[in-house]
Chains A and B, each alone.
Chain A
Amino acid sequence: MFGNLPYPAMSNFQSASMNNQTESIALPTSATHPDTSGALWVRLRQRLLRHARMMVFEPALAEDLVQESLVAVLEKPEAHRGEASLMTWAVAILKHKIADWYRSPHQRRRSWVETDGDDADADPTEGLYDEQGSYKEVVPSWQQPEKQETQRQMMSVMEACLKRLPSQTGRVFMMREWLGFETTEICERLSLSAENCRMILHRARMGLRQCMMSQGHTTGGLQ
């Protein structure tokens, strides 16, 4: 999906973070876009930053990627009316920027340098199964989030749970599910074996599943 994009300008990644400039960027005053207010801009930036920080190590780099995304939004504000579509659009731009960064040659060397210590090897399925490999406890059926409010609650819980995963595990999950990378590409970019990649994704999903269940928002009646 992002395969043919040219790399964006990467040269300023090492430069000082531009995070203080956001609020001072002149907002478009076009009558076609009355919702763009300072408060909206701050919310937008905060949301993008939250996602960017899950994906890249260096805080300054996350700031830069967000900044570039916001500039792209600012360049064409009239195309997107309303806060919801603006947010969605801005997040899509940020995803492209992060995907490009993961595919850039700079990235490869430092992709797996930081470890989580013992956490990286933690198996969230430990204690879940008996000796035959069957679930020790009955697995409840989850409520399907049809209402918007339920979806919000579940998403909020999932984002919080993502942060509780070992950071590399969370990052691989996000590369796969959020950025939409194929597993073969993730393995290659992060120099992981296919088996290792599979295990990390499995642990991420099972870890999320257990964390989300422990928060109680997801369980319906037992079947």
Chain B
Amino acid sequence: MTLLHSCQKAAELLSQSLDEPLDMVDKLRLRMHLSMCGNCRNVQEQLNLIHKMGGQIGTIDVCNDSGEPPLPHGDPVR
């Protein structure tokens, strides 16, 4: 088993783990990486929150049912 050094791969596994159980090796590699990497722990927290909020869409009043939700600045996501 090789160690997982890449945060990029870790993010993919974090996302995958929200949809399906990871196999044993990936699970262990991810866990080890997270134990050493604060950045990825924060990403994990963020993806978990997005996952949770996704199920709550429509049940939280966003105070703006008249049209587009406000998005004052920023470029479209690429």
Contact = CB atoms under 8 A, between A and B. Distances in A.
| Chain B binds chain A | yes
A196 to B, nearest CB: 13
A206 interface: yes
Given A142-B45, A155-B53, A198-B16, A161 B8 contact: no
Given A135-B39, A138-B39, A122 B78 contact: yes
A132 B6 contact: yes
Interface string A142-164: 10110000011011111111011
Nearest to A222: B42
Interface in B46-78: 46-47, 49-51, 53-66, 68-74, 76-78
A81 interface: no
Contacts of B6: 129, 132-134
Contact of A47 (B11, B39, B58): B58
Contacts of A107: none
B26 to A, nearest CB: 12
Contacts of A198: 12, 15-16, 19
Given A173-B54, A206-B11, 17 more contacts: A128-B8, A133-B9, A134-B5, A134-B7, A138-B39, A139-B38, A139-B39, A140-B42, A156-B62, A156-B64, A161-B71, A177-B54, A205-B50, A206-B15, A209-B47, A215-B71, A223-B42
Nearest to B64: A156
Interface string A207-223: 11111101100100001
Contacts of A208: 50, 77
A115 to B, nearest CB: 16
Interface of A: 43, 46-47, 50-51, 84, 87-88, 91, 94-95, 119, 122-126, 128-129, 132-135, 138-142, 144-145, 151-152, 154-161, 163-165, 173-174, 176-178, 180, 182-183, 198, 201-202, 205-212, 214-215, 218, 223
A161 B77 contact: yes
Contacts of A183: 19-20
A202 B20 contact: no
A132 B57 contact: no
A125 B42 contact: no
Nearest to B57: A178
Contacts, number: 152
A210 B78 CA distance: 10
A209 B50 contact: yes
A133 B65 contact: no
Contacts of B72: 215
A115 B47 CA distance: 26
Nearest to B37: A134
Contacts of B46: 139, 142, 209, 218
Contacts of A122: 77-78
